[in-house]
Amino acid sequence: MDIGIQFLPFPPNPNLLSGRVIVVIDILRATSVMVHAMSRGASEIIPLATVEEAFRMAKAFPREFVILGGERKNRKIPGFDLGNSPKEYVAARVKGKKLILTTTNGTRAFHAVSSGKEILVGSFLNIGAIAQRCLELNKNIFIFPSGDEGNFSLEDTLCGGMLIDLITQKEKKQIILSDASSSAQILYQRFKDNLLQAFHLSHHGKELINRGFEDDLVYCAQIDMTGIVPEFKAGVIRVK
Amino acid sequence: MDIGIQFLPFPPNPNLLSGRVIVVIDILRATSVMVHAMSRGASEIIPLATVEEAFRMAKAFPREFVILGGERKNRKIPGFDLGNSPKEYVAARVKGKKLILTTTNGTRAFHAVSSGKEILVGSFLNIGAIAQRCLELNKNIFIFPSGDEGNFSLEDTLCGGMLIDLITQKEKKQIILSDASSSAQILYQRFKDNLLQAFHLSHHGKELINRGFEDDLVYCAQIDMTGIVPEFKAGVIRVK
């Protein structure tokens, strides 16, 4: 089994995606929001790149079945129902609803890897379940951190590193790591007893703290809050 | 002072280069060869992207003034004088000569950042001198690891991380690190007592060992063998 991770969020070479399980990660906060919303009963999530697409998509369904969520510059978008804090996505708001989500980094990332066959939504909230699913699928793995406005993101990479760490601990077969995957694992090991310390060091973490979202860092650092593995297919995220 | 490092070796946004000191790093082995050859008296180095350009350039000068050096697939190029092992570049071969060099990753990297104004040639062999020069120049810094055929390179990143570590220890002013620069520093700290261990872990290091170049890993891991700071300007590398 071979595990790769791409440190910068440009669209990968399609050859890298074919035949691999892909794990998309945007810890602060898109994939944490997705995993949380689905664990609270959202029926499906449609990740879209732009605000315009989100409004247009919402009009295609009866308003009461749809939740519009996401952010620009970390804040809730005018006219949207919810922002990009996982804890807003409580069952009373999202249960049985279709969530239309647009964020700066995370929702775009799904479209960058959309030619892949199995695309999983990863976060610390469901990291154990993601590792387990990867072991069951028994294929090569490609981890895609969504990054921070095109730049390398420490918190996304740490989550990728934790996934690598969990898989290498459990997999019996030889695992081949690239320089990037080894480095992600080493970075995770450096912070594994204090993920929040890394979130405070990260550019995006600092930005969220400055804008009053420090609680979200604590929330997104929770490990294995749920056992669900949302999957992106044909433009929609669902739990099998 | 702000220090950035780009983890993948595509041509950077020119805005990132303007007003910054740029440090190009290709530990295994191009910048190690360059620093070594200049420390042994080579008068200048012309880094070129292709073998054809190298042959053409060599014809422009009397043959006895020129050394043709470099590699493809880690091996010496047919018709060239020297390969890509630093220790081949002894004074008896290179003193007073113009070195025309073409390698897979390193020589291309200089052309990717050529719009920059001050472009330094970094390696473990001259890392202390590079740090000192950066402190004297007192500008923002952009570190450009040459990578491994387009991929992230552990050994180049460690050298970037050591440069960051040295500068942050000595600089009195506040230093702003990106997520990538913090990560490079952490990776360096993990291996600082045993750089060779990291070279053995790296994809390119393993490849060199498989092809019989293990000695080069030991050679390129030497710290501060020389105090020279070669600089790339208008297509040529010289020591001021």
Report the pLDDT value the prediction gives residue B22, as an integer from 0 to 100: 98
Q: What stretches of B60-178 show up as alpha helix (H) in DSSP?
A: 91-94, 106-112, 127-137, 154-170
In this predicted complex, what is the ipTM? 0.96
* Cross-chain Cβ contact B153/A179 below 8 Å: yes
For residue B69, list its beta bridge partners: B82, B101
Tell me: the pLDDT tens digits for A18-52?
Answer: 999 999 999 999 999 999 999 999 999 999 999 99
- In chain A, what residues touch B178 (CB-CB under 8 Å)? 151-152, 203
Report the pLDDT value the prediction gives residue B155, as an integer from 0 to 100: 98
Report the pLDDT value the prediction gives residue A46, as an integer from 0 to 100: 97
Nearest CB among B8, B182, B202 relative to A7 is that of B8
Within an 8 Å CB–CB cutoff, is residue B203 touching chain A?
yes
Are A120 and A218 in contact by the 8 Å Cβ rule? The answer is: no
The band of A100, judged by pLDDT with boundaries at 50, 70 and 90, is very high
Q: Rounded to whole angstroms, how far apart are CA atoms A141 and A127?
A: 14
| Closest residue of chain A to B7, computed from CA coordinates | A7
| Closest residue of chain A to B204, computed from CA coordinates | A179
Within an 8 Å CB–CB cutoff, is residue A206 touching chain B?
no
The band of B93, judged by pLDDT with boundaries at 50, 70 and 90, is very high
User: CA of A235: how far to CAs of A1, A12, A45, A178, A232, in Å?
Assistant: 28, 18, 9, 29, 7
| Token pair recorded at residue B157 | 């990143």
The band of B165, judged by pLDDT with boundaries at 50, 70 and 90, is very high
| Total Cβ atoms within 10 A of residue A78 | 7
Work out the minimum CA distance from B122 to partner chain A, whole angstroms. Answer: 20
Residue B84's closest CA among B66, B65, B106, B63? B106
In this prediction, residues A115-120 reach a mean pLDDT of: 94
Q: Rounded to whole angstroms, how far apart are CA atoms A180 and A192?
A: 18
* Cross-chain Cβ contact A186/B190 below 8 Å: yes
User: CA of A178: how far to CAs of A51, A218, A233, B151, in Å?
Assistant: 36, 30, 27, 9
Query: Measured between alpha carbons, how far apart are the two ends of chain A, in Å?
Result: 24
Phi, psi of B61 (to 5 degrees): -130, 155
| Total Cβ atoms within 10 A of residue B177 | 19
Are A109 and A26 in contact by the 8 Å Cβ rule? The answer is: yes
Nearest CB among A179, A186, A202 relative to B203 is that of A179
Work out the minimum CA distance from B13 to partner chain A, whole angstroms. Answer: 12
What percent of chain B lies above the pLDDT cut of 90? 96
The band of A156, judged by pLDDT with boundaries at 50, 70 and 90, is very high
Are A93 and A82 in contact by the 8 Å Cβ rule? The answer is: yes
Report the pLDDT value the prediction gives residue A59, as an integer from 0 to 100: 96
Work out the minimum CA distance from A33 to partner chain B, whole angstroms. Answer: 22
Q: Rounded to whole angstroms, how far apart are CA atoms B232 and B210?
A: 32
Work out the minimum CA distance from B143 to partner chain A, whole angstroms. Answer: 14
In this prediction, residues A126-137 reach a mean pLDDT of: 98
* Cross-chain Cβ contact A179/B7 below 8 Å: no
Residue A158's closest CA among A72, A150, A166? A166
Which of B148, B151, B152, B177 to substitute to test the interface with A, most A CBs within 10 Å? Answer: B152
The band of A235, judged by pLDDT with boundaries at 50, 70 and 90, is very high
Tell me: the pLDDT tens digits for A172-192?
Answer: 899 999 999 999 999 999 999
Tell me: the pLDDT tens digits for B51-79?
Answer: 999 999 999 999 999 999 999 999 999 99
Report the pLDDT value the prediction gives residue A200, as an integer from 0 to 100: 98
| Token pair recorded at residue B143 | 């570190």
| Total Cβ atoms within 10 A of residue A52 | 10
Within an 8 Å CB–CB cutoff, is residue B146 touching chain A?
no
Residue A51's closest CA among A87, A89, A121, A102? A102
Q: What stretches of chain A show up as alpha helix (H) in DSSP?
A: 14-17, 30-39, 51-59, 91-94, 106-112, 127-137, 154-170, 179-191, 195-201, 203-210, 214-220
| pTM of the full structure | 0.96
Report the pLDDT value the prediction gives residue B124, as an integer from 0 to 100: 98
Token pair 């294929």 is found at A139
For residue B222, list its beta bridge partners: none
Does residue A96 come out as left (phi exceeding 0), alpha (psi in the -120 to 50 range) or beta? left
- In chain A, what residues touch B182 (CB-CB under 8 Å)? 154, 201
In this prediction, residues A152-157 reach a mean pLDDT of: 98
Work out the minimum CA distance from A204 to partner chain B, whole angstroms. Answer: 9
Which of A3, A25, A158, A183 to substitute to test the interface with B, most B CBs within 10 Å? Answer: A183
* Cross-chain Cβ contact B203/A154 below 8 Å: no
Q: Rounded to whole angstroms, how far apart are CA atoms A75 and A85?
A: 9
| Total Cβ atoms within 10 A of residue B74 | 20
In this prediction, residues A212-219 reach a mean pLDDT of: 97
Within an 8 Å CB–CB cutoff, is residue B197 touching chain A?
no
Q: Rounded to whole angstroms, how far apart are CA atoms B240 and B235?
A: 15
Are A84 and A29 in contact by the 8 Å Cβ rule? The answer is: yes
Work out the minimum CA distance from A51 to partner chain B, whole angstroms. Answer: 27
* Cross-chain Cβ contact A154/B190 below 8 Å: no
| Total Cβ atoms within 10 A of residue B213 | 21
Q: Rounded to whole angstroms, how far apart are CA atoms B201 and B215?
A: 15
- In chain A, what residues touch B179 (CB-CB under 8 Å)? 148, 151-154, 157, 201-204
Nearest CB among B157, B182, B201 relative to A154 is that of B182
For residue B102, list its beta bridge partners: B70
- In chain A, what residues touch B190 (CB-CB under 8 Å)? 186, 190
